[in-house]
Amino acid sequence: MTPVPRDLNAESLLAFWAEAGVDAMLLDEPFDRIEAGKFVPPKPPERIVAAPPPAQGAVRAGPDVAAAMAEAKRLAAAAPDLEALKAAIEAFDGCPLKFEGAARQSVFYRGATDAPLMVIGEGPGQEEDIQGAPFVGRAGQLLDKMFAAAGLTDRVFITNSVFWRPPGNRNPTVGEQMVCAPFLERAIELLAPRMLLLVGGPSAKSMLKREEGILSLRGRWFEWKSSDGAIELPAMPTLHPAFLLRQPGAKKKAWSDLLTLTERLNRPERP
């Protein structure tokens, strides 16, 4: 029998879709294609019950991003520590993702609360939504291995640019990131890390307000500034581990970024 040749492009595309959460290409019920034109797509299966509706009078970030940001700022400023900030995020109804993508819960952070390095990803995926912690799926496991190899395991605080899962794992929108930004900024203020690692394009672009793609931003040092200019921190963008799982050839670049960052982190702090 002639062996069937492997189609590496097709395999890579399938891996990409699997990573994005698409794991089936068949409909649940057969339908008659002869009747084409009369086809009405079947309803998607019921998903896990969504988060409860917003409390009466709560501000939701629909079109009014500014109002939701103001509310987020007010709540974040009132949080005296990271646990209070976590509770404020949980109670916040201003990010539409809470009612669109998240099935279970908000996802704030994991890691050391005295870490010198804050790692900021894009947003939670399905596994993070289930477990309530960031980067706990396959991409997170790869990230953990990289941190372990660099000697950073207990020196990282890991969070995201948004705190609820975007539907279908799409990238968070600028509006969604803006609404979550006051909480993220308050987390930076409370943690007081020495530097930031921005994981993936959406995180790097929103934190640095840059338009270039991640392949151009990665491995370079930038200065992140808080909105009132009171905090300035060195920040390095790098490739997202989900991308590295799809493109293992790019791991070399991400590893080089991490070594550059670790070398700076290990330098003694100036008094």
Binding residues vs ligand URA (CB under 6 A) = 121-125, 128, 134-135, 137, 139-140, 160, 200, 242
Indicate the residue among 140 and 193 with the shorter CB distance to ligand URA: 140
Indicate the residue among 71 and 128 with the shorter CB distance to ligand URA: 128
Tokens 């339908």 correspond to 31
What is the nearest approach in angstroms of ligand URA to the Cβ of residue 135? 4
Indicate the residue among 206 and 262 with the shorter CB distance to ligand URA: 206
CA–CA gap between residue 47 and residue 30 (Å, rounded): 21
What residue is closest to ligand URA based on CB?
Answer: 121
State both tokens at 257: 């970024």
By CB atoms closer than 10 A (0-12, 13-18, 19+), residue 247 is: middle
What is the nearest approach in angstroms of ligand URA to the Cβ of residue 143? 9
Which amino acid, 123? G
Indicate the residue among 71 and 122 with the shorter CB distance to ligand URA: 122
What is the nearest approach in angstroms of ligand URA to the Cβ of residue 37? 40
What is the nearest approach in angstroms of ligand URA to the Cβ of residue 10? 25
What is the nearest approach in angstroms of ligand URA to the Cβ of residue 200? 6
Indicate the residue among 59 and 258 with the shorter CB distance to ligand URA: 258
State both tokens at 82: 């990271």
What is the nearest approach in angstroms of ligand URA to the Cβ of residue 79? 21
Query: Could you tell me which residues come within 8 angstroms of residue 56 by beta carbon, excluding any fewer than 6 positions away?
Result: none
Indicate the residue among 96 and 202 with the shorter CB distance to ligand URA: 202
Contact 180, 161 (CB under 8 A): yes
